[in-house]
Amino acid sequence: MADSPQRSIRSIATRTGDDGSTSLLYGQRVPKDHPQVEAVGALDELNAALGFAKATLPAGADTRDLARIQQDLVALMGEVSCAETDATRYADSKFSKIDEAALARLDAAVAAIEARQPKFDGWATPGANLHAAALDLARTTARRAERRLVGLAAHGRTLRPLLIHYVNRLSDLLWLHAREAENAGPSS
């Protein structure tokens, strides 16, 4: 067997977290159960749940809105993942950030679905079909992420209110999308 050329591939397994710590955005080390790590983790779970919901869309359906929300979540995770002492540095950075336009997109999407008056009776019982269930899973994950974001203030990390507004509105939008998906009937 011929020797293969050496490749300089950086491994994802850095082993720096073997001690139970991880780095915030600009390098500050914190325990893996730190409230900011919990908040970023909940947002990451939400992003994965949205990916699943996107994958359950009917063939040919437009995925751009969910993909845009996923991009927004990456920006939101960046802002949440920096220490309080680095908040100004992050604000001055060229990283993407959640802005009023992102919130306005969610508000417009909520209004559009509400204008179609989706039918629902009482409390939602997820599982009418795969896509509706995936959307409800994303919605409940959004609510957990929202709780983690709200909880950061008690641990000394202040966030722009817009970030909490965004996740709150996103969970409302996902609830409405799930109800519409239920109205589409069972998956085939």
- Torsion sign over Cα 183, 185, 187, 188: negative
Radius of gyration of the chain (CA): 19
Most confidently modeled range among 8-12, 32-36, 136-140:
136-140
- Residues 6+ away with beta carbon under 8 Å from 81: 24, 25, 36, 40
- Residues 6+ away with beta carbon under 8 Å from 58: 131
Question: What's the N-to-C CA distance of the chain in angstroms?
Answer: 50
DSSP state of 5: P
Q: What is the pLDDT of residues 54-110, one digit of tens each?
A: 999 988 999 999 999 999 999 999 999 999 999 999 999 999 999 999 999 999 999
Strand partners, 29: 23
- Integer Cα distance of 16 and 90 in angstroms: 24
Predicted local confidence at residue 6, as pLDDT: 61
Predicted local confidence at residue 125, as pLDDT: 83
Helix (H) or strand (E) holding 23: strand 21-23
Q: Any idea which of 99-103, 154-158, 175-179, 183-187 has the lowest mean pLDDT?
A: 183-187
Q: What is the pLDDT of residues 105-155, one digit of tens each?
A: 999 999 999 999 888 776 778 888 999 999 999 999 999 999 999 999 999
Predicted local confidence at residue 2, as pLDDT: 52
* DSSP H stretches of helix in 56-99: 64-80, 87-92
Closest CA to 138 of 166, 167, 112, 111: 167
Strand partners, 23: 29
Predicted local confidence at residue 65, as pLDDT: 95
pLDDT at residue 3 tops 60: no
What number is the average pLDDT over the span 22-50? Answer: 92
Predicted local confidence at residue 132, as pLDDT: 95
* CB neighbourhood size of 65 (10 A): 14
pLDDT at residue 158 tops 60: yes
- Integer Cα distance of 83 and 39 in angstroms: 13
pLDDT at residue 18 tops 80: no
CATH of region 21-116+123-183 = 1.20.1200.10
